[in-house]
A and B are shown apart, each in its own frame.
Chain A
Amino acid sequence: MLRNSLFASGKLRHLPAIAIVPKLTRSSSTAKPLDAVTQKEVRHHENHASEWWNQNGTMSALHALNEIRVPFIRDGIVSRGIVKPAYVNTTKVLFGQNILEVGCGGGLLTEHLARLGAQVTGIDLGVKLIEAAREHVKCSSPELANRVVYKMEPVDQHAKTNCECYDAVIVSEVLEHVNDKVALLEASVRTLKPGGSIFITTLNKTIPSWFGGVILSEYVLGLVPRGTHHWDKMISPLDVQRILDTMNCETVMVNGSTYDFWSNNWRWINNNQMCYALHAVKQPQREYN
């Protein structure tokens, strides 16, 4: 899993970030009503709120993604050395970890992390999604109720009251639906304790990923509702890395992954042309503006 960690070479960190920095100031303004594009995205996902927990429905790929993203996050956190050795290899491995999930949707990933012992806060903009997530915990996994909190709240607002309080922040399958990625990432990083980890999974911005993720899965095979992904919102791992660098986060790992629709199975691959998972660590105090 370490094969891609070299991406985090210092060279990248010093790339000019002029284009990005001005945006940072904007993101810290007070909560505004959502813009039209964001509202459209939120509505799109809310329309599938009832489908969220159906393993055989349009979310089946997202269910299957847990097979690789949970271990990625889990091992990423363990590798930071903040897990008691006695907990490793047990189902309490994330015990005591405070985790924020940005864009938790119906809570597919949230519950998995809580089941490993973590204290998870899931935030999302879709009120129906948050309701579906709360409902599911209540009905299906009541034992997790005191480890999971769902809030309908934009991340920049959440960051105001929860500055530097999480051990890990997760932005999974969210970045490809967001216009202002810098603002989202900046607010996410702000909630992280120094030394905390940010985990991102998303699609790459390449012809193969566009063909597989949009044309094939939305229009040909109908695996995912149409209009879920857009070319102009996809982002390459290098761009994510650059943005994170400006926020004093060092990328320690980028792993490529792909989805086999015929077996509903995700697997790691040797390149990140399709999808990728990225793990970055917030460095201890250093000015970055």
Chain B
Amino acid sequence: MLGVLRIQGALASAGQSRLLSARLLASKSSTDMTTSRGESTQSPATEHFDIIIGGGGLVGTTLAAALAKNSTLADKKVLLLEGAPEFRGFNPTGPYQNRVSAINHNSIELFKSIDAWTHIESARYKPVKQMQVWESNTDALIQFQHDNFASDVACIIENDLILDAVYARVKEAANVEILNKARIQCVRLPKDSNSNLSELQLQDGRSFSCDLLIGADGANSVVRKEMNVDVFSLNYDRMGLVATLELGEDACDNSVAWQRFLPNGPVALLPLTDRLSSLVWSTTNEQAKMLQALPPAEFVDALNEAFCRQYPRVELADKAVQALNSLFGHNATQHQVQYPPRVCGVQDKSRATFPLGFLHASSYVCNGAALVGDAAHRVHPLAGQGVNLGFSDVRFLVESLATGAYAGFKLGDKQHLMKYERKCLAKNVPIMLGVHGLHTLYSTQFSPVVLLRSLGLQLTQNLPPVKNLFMRGAMGQ
């Protein structure tokens, strides 16, 4: 039951990865190459940078900002490559966007350390005070909150707002250049420790060399392919459906995140404002397509039904959960499922789908290159861990590069990059296995499994130390 409680948010990683890989892979002859500083250097010679980051998504851009902020690495020239046109910015008074992330405490600390948090704070975000997770086959249920709701469980932030905040930091950094519409054509890495530069060529023919190439280019990472590492990946044959929802008047202050495991996958409501929530609904490919195409009114009905509908119960498991609760001295009324506010509308064109999968690279580093974020790992959004793991990679990598540079290591020296990999694996692997385990555990209706998972969930709910352990893990503390 590891990770039962990592139920915050949802979207983050998978959606972002698809977006990114599409940007990088899309082949389109690019004629208007611009840099953030308007220098258009068209020299045919190879330009050298100390660090090149391939992929300017959430994780890649945050990494650039964190590198720029680090005093030991201040003399390193950094280039950020992004396949899309220049980021158009974020309008904090505009309509809410459908791509949101549940950001945990650790990631917020990272934003604070690179001065990006005030930017987010002054725009808009929604703190989550409580989470409730329950399922469809029994009464088992779990709730997370800090004592007396003293602090937030997580914050729901729009992806574009995070990007806007870190992008602003990158633009004001003197040692970072941004290159938009830059699609990587091919990469060459130093194969042995004697040659020392990583080289890459863009689709428009420009070439660059660097001491360290960082692959932040999503689940289909070009850098990872060149690194020749083994990749373990699973396609869940599921899709995530996102949408921005309007809530009924019973929403109150709307500070609870809800997630219910249905036979096809979890459906989650993440609060955005008092009357708006973001939806992440993981389900079969067919159902996702069908739901996306439904007229708004029917979609809203389907959604309300998903949260309230009574599914066939597993009686034995139900009784076991009741017995367990009475053992802990709770009676049935104390432990009833609360239901989320009624959804009364879906915003126009906010529905989108993305494929779900599991991916883990056997190694994150080699001489001259390192992977961060979805390029190294991709998880099911059910615990909202994807992008938070990416941000934790950023912290580890910057820390490790700074220590290494201050000890005279070359940036691309595998000897020292291994330290980064070791820290990441120790943190990421248990979380990823936990999330994958949860997905597997909840994709069956086989009675013994239902019985065990319900008991496990209920036990966790009733044993505060165990619950806190999971909660701390999910919040990255």
Q: Are B75 and A139 in contact (CB under 8 A)?
A: no
**Interface residues as binary, B175-202 with A (CB distance below 8 Å gives 1, 0 otherwise):** 0000000000000000001111000000
Q: Are A112 and B407 in contact (CB under 8 A)?
A: yes
What is the minimal beta-carbon distance from A134 to any residue of chain B, in angstroms? Answer: 14
Q: Are B407 and A70 in contact (CB under 8 A)?
A: yes
Q: Is B408 an interface position by the 8 A CB rule?
A: yes
Q: Are A90 and B74 in contact (CB under 8 A)?
A: yes
Q: Are B405 and A139 in contact (CB under 8 A)?
A: no
Q: Is A38 an interface position by the 8 A CB rule?
A: no
Chain B, Cβ-Cβ closest to A94: B408
Residues from chain B with Cβ under 8 Å of A29 in the complex: none
Q: Is B472 an interface position by the 8 A CB rule?
A: no
Contact of B407 among A63, A67, A114 (CB under 8 A): A67
**Interface residues as binary, A46-68 with B (CB distance below 8 Å gives 1, 0 otherwise):** 00000001110000000110110
How many of chain A's residues touch chain B, expressed as a range? 20 to 34
Q: Are B72 and A91 in contact (CB under 8 A)?
A: yes
Q: Is B410 an interface position by the 8 A CB rule?
A: yes
Q: Are A140 and B196 in contact (CB under 8 A)?
A: yes
Q: Are B416 and A115 in contact (CB under 8 A)?
A: no
Residues from chain B with Cβ under 8 Å of A112 in the complex: 407-409
Residues from chain B with Cβ under 8 Å of A67 in the complex: 407, 415-416, 419
What is the minimal beta-carbon distance from B195 to any residue of chain A, in angstroms? Answer: 8
Q: Are B75 and A90 in contact (CB under 8 A)?
A: yes
Contact of B196 among A89, A116, A141 (CB under 8 A): A141
For chain B, residues 383 to 416, give those with C-beta under 8 angstroms from any C-beta of chain A.
Answer: 405-410, 414-416
Taken together as a complex, chains A and B put the C-alpha atoms of A55 and B409 apart, in Å, by: 13
What is the minimal beta-carbon distance from A95 to any residue of chain B, in angstroms? Answer: 12
Chain A, Cβ-Cβ closest to B72: A89
Q: Are A53 and B75 in contact (CB under 8 A)?
A: no
Q: Are A66 and B193 in contact (CB under 8 A)?
A: no
Known: A67-B416, A89-B72, A91-B72. A116 touches B408 (CB 8 A): yes
Chain B, Cβ-Cβ closest to A140: B196
Taken together as a complex, chains A and B put the C-alpha atoms of A89 and B406 apart, in Å, by: 7
Q: Is B93 an interface position by the 8 A CB rule?
A: no
Residues from chain A with Cβ under 8 Å of B74 in the complex: 90
Q: Is A111 an interface position by the 8 A CB rule?
A: yes
Chain A, Cβ-Cβ closest to B196: A140
For B, the interface residue count at a CB cutoff of 8 angstroms equals 20
Q: Is B29 an interface position by the 8 A CB rule?
A: no
Taken together as a complex, chains A and B put the C-alpha atoms of A264 and B409 apart, in Å, by: 16
Q: Are A71 and B407 in contact (CB under 8 A)?
A: yes
**Interface residues as binary, A86-98 with B (CB distance below 8 Å gives 1, 0 otherwise):** 0001111100000
Taken together as a complex, chains A and B put the C-alpha atoms of A124 and B454 apart, in Å, by: 69
What is the minimal beta-carbon distance from A4 to any residue of chain B, in angstroms? Answer: 21
Q: Are A90 and B71 in contact (CB under 8 A)?
A: yes
Taken together as a complex, chains A and B put the C-alpha atoms of A263 and B410 apart, in Å, by: 21
Q: Are B414 and A55 in contact (CB under 8 A)?
A: yes
Known: A64-B415, A89-B71, A90-B72. A115 touches B406 (CB 8 A): no
Q: Are B406 and A55 in contact (CB under 8 A)?
A: no
Q: Are A63 and B406 in contact (CB under 8 A)?
A: no
Known: A55-B415, A63-B415, A64-B415. A91 touches B405 (CB 8 A): yes
Q: Are A140 and B194 in contact (CB under 8 A)?
A: yes
Q: Are A70 and B415 in contact (CB under 8 A)?
A: no
Q: Are B193 and A54 in contact (CB under 8 A)?
A: yes
Residues from chain B with Cβ under 8 Å of A70 in the complex: 407-408
Max chain B CB contacts within 10 Å: which of A53, A54, A67, A136? A67
Chain A, Cβ-Cβ closest to B404: A67
**Interface residues as binary, A157-189 with B (CB distance below 8 Å gives 1, 0 otherwise):** 000000000000000000000000000000000
Q: Are B408 and A115 in contact (CB under 8 A)?
A: yes
Taken together as a complex, chains A and B put the C-alpha atoms of A65 and B414 apart, in Å, by: 14
Taken together as a complex, chains A and B put the C-alpha atoms of A219 and B409 apart, in Å, by: 31
What is the minimal beta-carbon distance from B69 to any residue of chain A, in angstroms? Answer: 13
What is the minimal beta-carbon distance from A248 to any residue of chain B, in angstroms? Answer: 30
Residues from chain B with Cβ under 8 Å of A139 in the complex: 194-195
Known: A112-B409, A113-B408. A91 touches B196 (CB 8 A): no
Chain A, Cβ-Cβ closest to B405: A91
Taken together as a complex, chains A and B put the C-alpha atoms of A70 and B409 apart, in Å, by: 9
Q: Is A43 an interface position by the 8 A CB rule?
A: no
Q: Is A233 an interface position by the 8 A CB rule?
A: no
Q: Is A151 an interface position by the 8 A CB rule?
A: no
Residues from chain A with Cβ under 8 Å of B422 in the complex: 263
Taken together as a complex, chains A and B put the C-alpha atoms of A24 and B195 apart, in Å, by: 45
Residues from chain B with Cβ under 8 Å of A92 in the complex: 75
For chain B, residues 145 to 189, give those with C-beta under 8 angstroms from any C-beta of chain A.
Answer: none
Taken together as a complex, chains A and B put the C-alpha atoms of A189 and B87 apart, in Å, by: 60
Q: Are A91 and B75 in contact (CB under 8 A)?
A: yes
Q: Are A91 and B415 in contact (CB under 8 A)?
A: no
What is the minimal beta-carbon distance from B175 to any residue of chain A, in angstroms? Answer: 13
Q: Is A74 an interface position by the 8 A CB rule?
A: yes
Chain B, Cβ-Cβ closest to A116: B408
Residues from chain A with Cβ under 8 Å of B406 in the complex: 71, 74, 89, 91, 93, 116
What is the minimal beta-carbon distance from A148 to any residue of chain B, in angstroms? Answer: 12
Residues from chain B with Cβ under 8 Å of A141 in the complex: 196, 410
Residues from chain A with Cβ under 8 Å of B410 in the complex: 115, 141
Chain B, Cβ-Cβ closest to A60: B415
What is the minimal beta-carbon distance from A63 to any residue of chain B, in angstroms? Answer: 5
Taken together as a complex, chains A and B put the C-alpha atoms of A23 and B120 apart, in Å, by: 71
Residues from chain B with Cβ under 8 Å of A136 in the complex: 194
Taken together as a complex, chains A and B put the C-alpha atoms of A90 and B414 apart, in Å, by: 21
**Interface residues as binary, A114-134 with B (CB distance below 8 Å gives 1, 0 otherwise):** 111000000000000000000
For chain B, residues 405 to 434, give those with C-beta under 8 angstroms from any C-beta of chain A.
Answer: 405-410, 414-416, 418-419, 422
Contacts A54-B193, A89-B406 aside, 15 further interface pairs with beta carbons under 8 A come to: A55-B415, A63-B415, A67-B407, A67-B416, A67-B419, A74-B408, A89-B71, A90-B72, A91-B72, A91-B405, A92-B75, A93-B406, A111-B408, A115-B409, A139-B194
A-B contact pairs, 18 of them (CB 8 A): A53-B194, A64-B415, A66-B409, A66-B415, A67-B416, A71-B407, A74-B406, A90-B71, A90-B74, A112-B408, A112-B409, A113-B408, A115-B410, A136-B194, A140-B193, A140-B194, A141-B410, A264-B418
Q: Residues on B close to A: CB < 8 A?
A: 71-72, 74-75, 193-196, 405-410, 414-416, 418-419, 422
The 4 closest A-B pairs by CB, nearest first: A112-B408, A70-B407, A115-B408, A116-B408
